[in-house]
Amino acid sequence: MQDVITTMREMIQDFHNPFLNQMFDQITHGKMLRSSMVLSIAPHNQMTIKLCAIIELIQLASLLHDDVIDESAIRRGKPSLNVQFGNKNAIMLGDALYAKAFFHLTSFPQEIAQSLSGAVCKLSNGEIYDVFLSQGFNASKEQYFLMIEEKTASLIASSAECAAILAGLESEGYLHYGKCLGIAFQIIDDILDITQSQEVLGKPSMQDFKEGKTTLPYLLLYENLPSLEAKEKLQNLCGKELSLDEKQWILDSMDQYQCIKQSQHLAQEIAKDSLSKLTSSYNPKLKEIINSMIQRSF
């Protein structure tokens, strides 16, 4: 992973911009799930490391834009870049990282370049879905799954597909693996936003609901609430700062109707299906990635 981070730094140093480097130095790189997956599929060589660096630049760019859109003050336990340097600089750094990633992507075969650039189109489309769905209480699971498939799963799926192409493997099964991993990953993220503390998450709990996002546990709760009055109460709480009593009502209601357990079960089923289209010769680390992602606490 250090080779990937070093390559990312080398790529952005081409800008010869001390202010850009100063901002980039404040970014925490997190789990680097996509690179872990790529390195479990393709051989470790210069092209694979370069592919990982491109993917991580794209991921960072999307997170920078996401924090501005969501007005997030914290990212991985630290002040977000938009808080440190302002929204304009965060947006422009995101644009610069996208631009540099696409510049280096041109050195790859067309099939890989088209896959990753197509994934960024889907990612952007999913972000727009997310913004519009957050403007009011969304009760549609269909729209939720469409949004997370585009916003989160598309880049993970493309990363797996591109790694398989580099390795000379049948890419369709790996595309499916990445798509399932991405959807399950997002469901677990949405669960943890509810169940974990700010100290563990590095951001306030139930932040998604405060931002107007009705993730899977809330959708299941809405389906299970027995009365119109209770459903309206949940709708009215969406998009606002919740009191301790309001948070507790949501948690108690989710526990009563097993919304968290149902969400976890669905994530596990999707994760299990991720391996269904791979041949028996796939790297066992791919199964380890699935298991660690499902069992994580942050």
Residue 74: phi and psi, rounded to 5, are: -130, 140
Q: For residue 213, is it left (φ>0), alpha (ψ between -120 and 50) or beta?
A: beta
Query: How far, in Å, CA of 48 to CA of 41, rounded?
Result: 10
Query: pLDDT value at position 204?
Result: 85
**pLDDT in single tens digits along all 298 residues of the chain:** 999 999 999 999 989 999 999 999 998 788 899 999 999 999 999 999 999 999 999 999 999 999 999 999 988 888 999 999 999 999 999 999 999 999 999 999 999 999 999 999 999 999 999 999 999 999 999 999 999 999 999 999 999 999 999 999 999 999 999 999 999 999 999 999 999 988 888 788 999 999 999 999 999 999 999 999 999 999 999 999 999 999 999 999 999 999 999 999 999 999 999 999 998 889 999 999 999 988 887 7
Please classify residue 207 by burial: count the beta carbons closer than 10 Å to its beta carbon, then call 0-12 exposed, 13-18 middle and 19+ buried.
Answer: middle
Q: What is the structure's pLDDT at 182?
A: 97
Give pLDDT, residue 78: 87
Q: Which amino acid is at 273?
A: D
Rounded Cα–Cα distance for residues 150 and 204 (Å) = 25
Confidence (pLDDT) at 21: 92
pLDDT at residue 196, rounded to an integer: 92
Sequence letter at residue 256: Q
Residue 16 φ/ψ region, left for φ over 0, alpha for ψ in the -120 to 50 degree band, beta for the rest = left
The C-alpha atoms of residue 294 and residue 44 are separated, in whole angstroms, by 26
Strand boundaries in the chain, DSSP class E: 74-75, 78-79
What are the backbone angles phi and psi of residue 79, rounded to the nearest 5°?
Answer: -55, 130
**What are the structural domains, with CATH classification, of the chain?**
1-108 (1.10.600.10), 111-298 (1.10.600.10)
- Decide: pTM greater than 0.75: yes
Cα 262 to Cα 21: distance, rounded to the nearest angstrom: 44
Instruction: For residue range 185-223, list pLDDT tens digits in order.
Output: 999 999 999 999 888 887 889 999 999 999 999 999 999
Q: Which of 193, 244, 198 is nearest to 216 (CA)?
A: 193
pLDDT at 129: 96
Cα separation, 70 vs 48, whole angstroms: 33
- One-letter identity of residue 68: V
pLDDT in tens, 127-157: 999 999 999 999 999 999 999 999 999 999 9
